A and B are shown apart, each in its own frame.
Chain A
């Protein structure tokens, strides 16, 4: 393969360098800016897609840069170069002579990065499924579907009765006998929604509906699958700042999506309190009841995003941010969303198209 074809195009070194630079920009400043932005809470779905694009774009660029360096002498774009390499390996049974030394090193580095990203994802998926199954097995021995009567409430008889009616209608909900106020889902094929007895007695019937609809939204939209790659990479590659920011931001945005879905599905009595206020109240009460452990303020509050916000009220994706967001009720930012989807597309398309067009 000699350089007859490529009279136009980008020099290979510029292409590889550009891709590497893109990867660094995406994991560094771009992630930091995105984590600090305030618009995502108004367009959580678009923001989530953008985060996915940032991560995918960064991975593609980084791996692509190494591959370009490795196979550059074999062709003028990724396809022709890889076909040449494959032919040499399979038909002639020889290693392509041009891929030696530092080219070989770059290729191996790329392959290792790709393999690590992929295997971390698979490992995390397997562990997650196993952990969920173990949890579910014990859970199912301790609970039965909530057709059974709810635990005796402390409130007036009427509210207890209303709560019982809510729970009797929710056959997909299990009640766990614990005083702490907790609600959670066990996602997966055999999913479960779990409320503790403490949470049931803490909340009013309408608030309980809000919590249940929030959890149903998680399960229905398989939010666990959206969160999985972010979590998997954050656990292993947590040292890279962008990766941690992406995980924290994605987790917060997913909660906002479930909040929004819950609001649209909750039943509300005409003339009664607004549905957004009901859900916000439920969130605040569960958080204040301390069902979730409170972190000492010396520590950077679990999510680096929240910590990044400095002395402000709280990170937009924390509980307080979610409550505030529900109470404010700002219309979804449609033009921002459209622009965000476009940027996301460009981020993924750029490295892909560059590799297809090729180099000089």
Chain B
């Protein structure tokens, strides 16, 4: 089970921590505790590219890979998607607490105080 997803996380973690474009070889070398072939890393990188989280930069004859956005930016984007479902778009995600109105807040404060 610790195959594909785990590997993708390890590779993107390297790029996120580096914060700068890297070659596939540099990524392979930076992977902690693993001896991975560069071709394997390339496969993972292209999958990540397909998911839109990694972009490829041509640098002379080599290719450099960089994270499209930081961890924090991706987290913020996910949060935005979650909160966005309160509006009129088709809700793809289900939230524990939806949008809260002002009278709702007032009633909740009273309910909590009463405990």
Residues of chain A having any CB pair with chain B under 8 Å? 124, 127-128, 131-132, 134-135, 137-142, 144, 176-178, 180, 182-187, 196, 211, 214-215, 218, 223-224, 227-228, 231-232, 234-235, 238, 251, 255, 277, 280-281, 283-288, 290-297, 301-302, 306, 313-314, 318-320, 323-324, 327
Judge whether B34 is part of the interface by a CB distance below 8 angstroms: no
CA distance A176 to B53 in the complex (A): 17
Secondary structure at chain B's binding surface: helix, strand, loop or mixed? helix
Q: A138 to B78, Cβ gap below 8 A? A: yes
| Given A294-B102, A314-B107; A135-B93 close (CB under 8 Å) | yes
Judge whether B51 is part of the interface by a CB distance below 8 angstroms: yes
Contact of B101 among A218, A235, A318 (CB under 8 A): A318
Q: B115 to A277, Cβ gap below 8 A? A: yes
Q: How far is the CB of A140 from chain B (nearest CB, A)?
A: 6
Q: How far is the CB of B20 from chain A (nearest CB, A)?
A: 19
Q: B115 to A141, Cβ gap below 8 A? A: no
Residues of chain B having any CB pair with chain A under 8 Å? 5, 8-9, 12, 48, 51-53, 71, 74-79, 81-83, 86, 88-105, 107-109, 111-112, 115
Q: A292 to B92, Cβ gap below 8 A? A: no
Q: A131 to B92, Cβ gap below 8 A? A: yes
Interface centre among B9, B12, B75 (most CB of A within 10 A): B75
Closest residue on chain A to residue B47 by CB atoms: A137
Q: How far is the CB of B25 from chain A (nearest CB, A)?
A: 22
Q: A138 to B77, Cβ gap below 8 A? A: yes
Closest 4 CB pairs of A and B: A301-B101, A297-B102, A183-B96, A320-B107
Task: Return chain A residues, CB-CB under 8 Å to B89.
Answer: 235
Task: Return chain B residues, CB-CB under 8 Å to A177.
Answer: 71, 75
Task: Return chain B residues, CB-CB under 8 Å to A306.
Answer: 101, 104
Q: A141-B48, A292-B100 are in contact. List 12 more A-B contacts (CB 8 A).
A: A128-B90, A135-B81, A137-B51, A142-B71, A251-B98, A287-B108, A291-B97, A294-B102, A297-B103, A302-B86, A319-B100, A327-B111
